[in-house]
Amino acid sequence: MKVVVALVRHETNTFSPLPTVLGSFSRGTHGSGPVYADDAKQACLNTNSAAAAYLDLAEKLGAEVDFAIVANAVPSGVVTREAFDSIADSVVASVKKGCDAVMLDLHGAMVAQGYPDAEGELLKRLRAVLPVGVPIVVALDFHANFSRELIQNATIITGYCTYPHIDIYQTGARAGKTLQALLKKEVEPVILWRRLPMLTHMLRQTPAMQPMKDIMDRAIAAEADGRVLNASVFGGFPLSDIPYAGLSVVLVVDKKKKAQGKQLLDELCNLAWERREDFIFPIEPLEQSIARAKQLADGPIILVDHGDNCGAGGPTDNMAVLREVMRQGLKNVVAGPFWDPAAVGQLIQAGVGAEVTLDIGGKTDVPALEIKGEPLNVRARVVKITDGNYIVTGPMFTGMRLSIGKTAVIEVDGILIFVCEKPQEPYDTGLFTHAGVDPAKKKYVLIKSRQHFRAGFGPLAKHIVLVAGPGVCSSDYSQFPFKHLSRPIYPLDENAQIGQGEEIV
Ligand SMILES: [Zn+2]
């Protein structure tokens, strides 16, 4: 037996000004783009990835593995046609050599030039060269958006049940379990899918809390008691101007239990729709959030700037929240990492101990939202320079080797500021500890994130204050010039009805 495995992940924020090229796909590999064959396998082994679960399953089955590619990029703007074709070509080339199953570790919210559902296009290309009946197994991020193409060309689909995403390996293992049953001819998987006409706010999506908790819990219970083979609820990625954005439920059911599956699909979708108002995050003005944080006595207080989060396509160089923190005089703060390769270069040249006056961040405009970059001019002392490399020890992406590139730690009026070459969402405290800075000992930790920080920073937080900084990840969807969404869609259109989404049942 032979399986083809591939990991291709990108969450595309179509409003992001950052282009996504082939070289962007180097997350977790420290490389300058995707890695292939044995390098790809080595990058995934023993990590919290679906691909690692596939490798373990292949070993258990005694199957030969052709690991086509690991192409993993930090969220950013639309993927170039050239990058997408190159990635897709390498998976197609492996599949063409012949295999008994294809096992994919994908994101589900990738948009490439000309392909609003890039994963759907990838699967279509694979189907075109695969003999009839060869299963395609797909593990997807909780933020996947679905077109019919993706559903119709997959055999088995599972999604993460967590946000922060800490069950990525299990998501691959759940799909693998169904694949095993299929290979033994014990089941005949059929996919049921419905996308609701609703954009949820990412700050209200987490299955750890309501309104999503009950919905996800019911899905997990149905999979556990065998009513369905796999049940996944997808919050969807709302910052994507494509017809497929929205909350989806995807069930893999045994053909003879299709009626039961349909019942579950209705139950989960109806519950999500009834709760649509609860998926809206009310926005507090930035100045008020910082003033509220200033009144809190004990730290660490995690200040989460959720408007410019590179984990959802933000450039990570908007300085508005740090500027406000300084204006209101918060002390004992560590902030960052802010993305500014030019400033890092300047600081390296100045050297540790030097005093420098320079502009930090604010170098990227966001034309889609008419935001102009505004650098923060500071007089800073260079405290430390690092290579930015660390290994994740927290629960999300555990074991993955990550890098924020060359990094400068500077001090400005008692505030430690991290400036880096490569943007990265703070899932893990290694971002700071690799430079000898312990965030647990700071009163305030200012980071740019939305939910994923909870994996690494949640356990040390005495308080968490969500701060609505400006940027492409804003929860104020009325700011975004959507043109291609399927309309009507809630909450942009109050009159949207549950039946106005899309489904395959
Ligand atoms: Zn996600």
pLDDT band, residue 18 (cuts 50/70/90): confident
How far is ligand 1, taken at its centre, from the CA of residue 144, in Å?
8
Distance of CA 192 to the CA centre of its chain: 24
How far is ligand 1, taken at its centre, from the CA of residue 270, in Å?
23
How far is ligand 1, taken at its centre, from the CA of residue 451, in Å?
9
Asked whether the predicted pLDDT for residue 29 surpasses 80, the reply is: no
pLDDT tens-digit readout, 382-395: 999 999 999 998 88
Angle (CA) 257-235-403 rounded to 5° is: 120
Instruction: Specify the DSSP element, H or E, that contains 391.
Output: strand 389-391
Per-chain mean pLDDT for the chain: 96
How far is ligand 1, taken at its centre, from the CA of residue 207, in Å?
12
pLDDT tens-digit readout, 470-504: 999 998 888 899 999 999 999 999 999 999 999 99
Q: What sections of 46-117 are H helices per DSSP?
A: 50-61, 81-96
pLDDT recorded at residue 30: 63
Asked whether the predicted pLDDT for residue 165 surpasses 80, the reply is: yes
pLDDT recorded at residue 358: 97
pLDDT recorded at residue 396: 81
Domains and their CATH numbers in the chain: 2-279 (3.40.50.2300), 286-474 (no CATH)
How far is ligand 1, taken at its centre, from the CA of residue 277, in Å?
21
pLDDT band, residue 168 (cuts 50/70/90): very high
Asked whether the predicted pLDDT for residue 433 surpasses 90, the reply is: yes
pLDDT recorded at residue 26: 87
Average pLDDT on 138-148 reads 98
pLDDT tens-digit readout, 318-353: 999 999 999 999 999 999 999 999 999 999 999 999
Instruction: Specify the DSSP element, H or E, that contains 163.
Output: none
pLDDT band, residue 250 (cuts 50/70/90): very high
Average pLDDT on 145-153 reads 98
pLDDT band, residue 31 (cuts 50/70/90): low
How far is ligand 1, taken at its centre, from the CA of residue 11, in Å?
8
Query: For residue 318, what are its two tokens?
Result: 């908007």
The region of weakest confidence among 63-72, 148-157, 388-397 is: 388-397
**How far is the CA of 279 from the CAs of 183, 311, 375, 472, in angstroms?**
39, 20, 34, 19
pLDDT tens-digit readout, 210-225: 999 999 999 999 999 9
pLDDT recorded at residue 99: 98
